Amino acid sequence: MDDVMNITDDITSSARPSELSKFSPALLTFAAVVTGFIMVIGLFGNLLTVVALIKCPKVRNVAAAFIISLCIADFLFCAMVLPFAISGFWTRTWSHGGALCKLVPFLRYGNVGVSLLSIALITLNRYIMIAHHSWYARVYRKHNIALMIVFSWMFSYGMQIPTLVGVWGKFDYDPELGTCSIMPDEHGRSSKTALFVIAFIVPALLIFICYARIFWVVHSSEQRMREHQRSQHTGAGTLNSTDKRSTVKDNRDTKARRNEWRITKMVLAIFLSFLVCYLPITIAKVADSHVHYPVFHIAGYLLLYASACVNPIIYVIMNAQYRAAYAAALCCPLARLPGLTSEKWNERHGYSFSNTRTALSQVSIGESRADPRASGLPTGPGPR
């Protein structure tokens, strides 16, 4: 108890206005107001996304499981981290005691890790769906999905435990930034660099490699599809019933491919927004550790906090089914939402809900489209 009281006294005494004078009162007040708006939007948007994905079965797929995990992490960030950020901006000090000065950065860094790993898992899901669809059903079984989500949480928070107990750096008050963060321990060690490499650069490289491969596969597949369609038009006068059925299936698969590509672009937008939100504060802490440019740090923190509310906005803008699911979660009965109930709408957009694998996963990208049986995959849209 005496140790905690000493820590609290040290924090209170170190948060002198003279050391926070680098941040002007107007700038800190502006940051507090903006952070408040971000917190409200993030709480509402992430909770609505979780409810929508749970309530509407037709948008519950493998990617949705990882999106729910991402939204829960962002919701907890808004509920358990941002209130203290607002308090710090508003009062220009830390007045919540030594225990919370350890807990809040532990939650902040842990949730950041969960968010990035969730985005990496979603990207890996899109990569396997598009580039290695024959593996999809074997990799994404229910227990494997659960293990992936549990791993993302345990790994992200597990990496913070050495710092939490003071073995590898420590969570403490940073008087130059006016907030609680990772500080060097008595031996001068800090986990910041290692956390940045392991929890940020490695997942980011994985995501970049997956998207490079996705773009290559999609480009190559589109070329083969165009060649196949040209050959069909050339011999259109001699089409028999089998060729007609193949043409119908090709059209359906093309629509499914477009839908999968829309989802993939949505995930790419999520990752790019993550980079935009996290890179500025990372650069600020590395390049300006002594806070010579306070505005740069405040802008970096606001972008960091905005990452917790931007994803639902991306879902609304880029995915029609998510928009319909949000409407259903808010007030509209499912029966009134043709986007979720109309079979014609689903057929027009290439959706098939009779199987967890979409029609895209049943199309052999590497094989000739002339004979659907050549790939060894099912030739119809139904389950095998």
For residue 63, give the amino acid letter: A
Classify burial at 109, counting beta carbons within 10 Å of its beta carbon; exposed 0-12, middle 13-18, buried 19 or more: buried
Q: How far apart are CA 117 and CA 121, in angstroms?
A: 6
CB 105 within 8 A of CB 181: yes
Q: How far apart are CA 256 and CA 218, in angstroms?
A: 13
260 Ramachandran zone, left/alpha/beta (phi>0; psi -120 to 50)? alpha
Is the Cα dihedral 111, 117, 121, 123 positive or negative?
A: positive
- How far is residue 302 from each of residues 4, 34, 74, 317, 375, measured CA to CA in Å? 30, 7, 14, 22, 50
For residue 115, give the amino acid letter: S
3 state DSSP class of 167: coil
Which one, of 163, 169, 51, 65, lies nearest residue 107 by Cα?
Answer: 163
- Strand-pair partners of 171: 182
Q: How far apart are CA 326 and CA 112, in angstroms?
A: 25
Q: How many residues does the chain have?
A: 384
pLDDT of residue 303: 92
Where do the domains of the chain lie, and which CATH numbers do they carry?
2-229+249-370 (1.20.1070.10)
Q: How far apart are CA 229 and CA 226, in angstroms?
A: 5
pTM for the full model?
0.74
Low-confidence ranges of the chain (pLDDT < 70): 1-21, 228, 232-261, 263, 332-384
